[in-house]
Amino acid sequence: MPPKRRGAPASSSAATPKRARPSKLAKENDITAEEENEIKEVFHLFSDKHEDFPAEKEGVIPREDVRKALVALGLSPSDSTELADILSALDPTLTGFVPYAPFVSVAAAKLHSRGDDALTAEVDDAYQLFTRGSDGPITLSHLRRIARELKEDSVDDGLLRDMVLEANGGAGLSAGVTLEQFHDVMSRAGVF
């Protein structure tokens, strides 16, 4: 007789947060549930129920607020021509309003079109926040300063040392974390 299966301990389910499952719309647009939630939050800032669109449960946003919504998502149109193209795609019949699903499609397309250069620039900017613009590596003292600024007084030096050593592949505390190593850490962590 095979051994009985045991259920997972109660503490393990509390330790690992459940990941939101992507909706059908998110899957269609190849975005994560988190990305869709971010888009939905911004959409709701500008949306309203409209009598001409009773089937739109998320509401609609006025055509003139599309640019503001994209800017809020960090997906600003590059110029007025791109904005005009976006608006004609979102509101081809010139109703003056944009439903949720087409807005998600455009926002997802803009998310996918953000190039590697933009992501690299974001990582570089984050690195500069640690080093305060200096060319050298991120050091233990930089991490201590950041912890102080974030009022994380409970972070001990051992953890900060481990962070430096993990990021630089064990090259030592004096080596710090170079920009290239910082890029590697950020991509491994899925931050950028």
Q: What is the pLDDT of residue 187?
A: 80
* pLDDT (mean) for 63-79: 90
CB–CB of 19/49 below 8 Å? no
Whether 55 shows a pLDDT value over 80: the answer reads: yes
| CA distances (Å), origin 37, targets 47, 100, 136 | 15, 12, 38
Kindly report the average pLDDT of the chain as a whole number.
Answer: 86
Q: Which residues of 112-138 are buried (b: 16+ CB within 10 A; e: fewer)?
A: eeeeeeeeeeebeeebeebbeeeeebb
3 state DSSP class of 173? helix
CB atoms within 10 A of CB 36: 21
Whether 19 shows a pLDDT value over 70: the answer reads: no
Q: What is the pLDDT of residue 85?
A: 94
Taking the C-alpha atoms of residue 86 and residue 113, their distance in angstroms, rounded to an integer, is 14
Taking the C-alpha atoms of residue 143 and residue 173, their distance in angstroms, rounded to an integer, is 12
Whether 63 shows a pLDDT value over 50: the answer reads: yes
Q: What is the pLDDT of residue 13?
A: 47
Taking the C-alpha atoms of residue 28 and residue 109, their distance in angstroms, rounded to an integer, is 11
Helix axes 116-131, 179-189, angle to 10 degrees: 120
Res. 83 pLDDT band, cuts 50 70 90: very high
Res. 9 pLDDT band, cuts 50 70 90: low
Partners of residue 21 on adjacent β-strands: none
Q: What is the pLDDT of residue 43?
A: 94
pLDDT tens profile 21-46: 888 988 999 888 888 999 999 999 99
Whether 7 shows a pLDDT value over 80: the answer reads: no
Domains of the chain: 24-113 (1.10.238.10), 116-189 (1.10.238.10)
Of 108, 100, 124, 106, whose CA–CA distance to 183 is shortest? 124
pLDDT tens profile 136-183: 899 999 999 998 888 887 889 999 999 999 999 999 999 999 999 998
